[in-house]
Amino acid sequence: MDKTGVELKATTTDAMRLNLQLRTAFHVLQRFADINCSNADELYSEAKRLPWDRVIDPLGFLSVTSNVRNDTITNSMFPNMRLKDAICDKLTSTVGKRPDAGSSTDGMVVNLHWVENKARIYLNMTGRKLSDRGYRKMPFMAPMRETIAAAVLMEMKYDGTRPLVVPMCGSGTLAIEAALMAKHRAPGLLRSNYACNQWLNADKETWSQQRADAKKLIGKNDPAPIIASDIEEEAVEASRKNAVTAGVDHLIEFHICDFAQTPLPTSGGGDVVLHGEYGVRLGDEDELISTYKRIGDFLKTNCAGWDGYVFTSGKPLIGAIRLKVAKRTPFINAEIDCRLLRYELYKGSKVTEA
């Protein structure tokens, strides 16, 4: 497993629970076989010896994806095709039928991790990425991936007991993920299609039981206020619709306004988190610098006693905030090097050159 994965021993039931409950992972993979192969022909012949007839539904749909570092491979699609051929040829010779195959990950998915002459083959229990929760029917510009939003909230140690304010909410991902977390709602309950239900002899009864158990864990109490705002009416409309789809609209208060006008609950503190635009993705840098100066002023003036967070990228924008950073947490978002910056906003927070 590479550094973006975690390996653990688990039963199939545990793996189902992981699919339903994980907030920051993309896939749950079940190791199927390790093979030695130094080129694509060996990949084909070794993979063809595996007992695919025990796991692949020949009447289903199959997709193969791969991660390969092998000098003989110059076309990244070639290993997928050779492994898919091995699986389908094996099934044709053993059961006389083979699944349809293609790039859609809505059916059965096989993953290949191949480094030099060692290949590991996994049955992907998830299918389409877990970040595709199913609630974001209305993306607004530059939305944050749901898994990143969940990771940001975890890094903030958000648990629903303190108010959360999300100015510049875009399509509402941070606010919606927060509401799901605060209610202990398994994010996986929002979608129904998982690859593990398409394997041969899929245990659909246990899956239904796991879904029912996850529903029992949903908290009865509502979290502290969650407030989301954006200057664009269209963004707030998208957020509201997405929150309805996620079943958490009643937990979020929406406002159309400039971030600096976002109303904060007056009693006690809480967390305020901003994910503005950053140069490499959208907008012009000079204009962004003046927006980030205003973000610094907003945090200092309006949010005294709160914890402030800014998710962004690039030294000039971070510098423009002009507040002392208490913590920087690195993130990779859409292949861009980003930071979650934490500010402790006591009355009279110091303006500094960051």
Ligand X SMILES: C[S@@+](CC[C@H](N)C(=O)[O-])C[C@H]1O[C@@H](n2cnc3c(N)ncnc32)[C@H](O)[C@@H]1O
Contacting positions for ligand X (CB under 6 A): 140-144, 167-171, 173-174, 230-232, 235, 258-259, 275-277
The shares of helix, strand and coil residues in the chain, as percent rounded to the nearest 5, are 35, 20, 45
Least separation, in Å, of the C-beta of 158 and ligand X? 15
CA dist., res. 89 & res. 111, Å (int): 18
Least separation, in Å, of the C-beta of 270 and ligand X? 18
Least separation, in Å, of the C-beta of 274 and ligand X? 8
Q: How many CB atoms lie within 10 A of CB 249?
A: 17
Cβ closer to ligand X: 109 or 168? 168
Least separation, in Å, of the C-beta of 161 and ligand X? 22
CA dihedral 15, 16, 22, 26 (to 10 degrees): 80
Least separation, in Å, of the C-beta of 176 and ligand X? 9
Cβ closer to ligand X: 22 or 310? 310
User: Which tokens in the block code for residue 224?
Assistant: 């502290």
Least separation, in Å, of the C-beta of 330 and ligand X? 18
CA angle 346, 348, 349 (to 5 degrees): 60
Cβ closer to ligand X: 85 or 277? 277
Place of tokens 């060692």: 118
Least separation, in Å, of the C-beta of 190 and ligand X? 16
CA-based max dimension of the chain: 76
**Residue nearest ligand X, CB atom distance:** 170
Cβ closer to ligand X: 28 or 320? 320
Cβ closer to ligand X: 167 or 308? 167
Strand, coil or helix: 295: helix
Cβ closer to ligand X: 65 or 313? 313
| C-alpha distance from residue 54 to each of 90, 91, 148, 199 (Å) | 11, 10, 36, 9
User: Which tokens in the block code for residue 296?
Assistant: 């610094």
CA dist., res. 52 & res. 58, Å (int): 10
Cβ closer to ligand X: 70 or 333? 333
CA dist., res. 291 & res. 296, Å (int): 9
Beta-carbon contacts of 92 under 8 Å, excluding residues fewer than 6 positions away, are 98
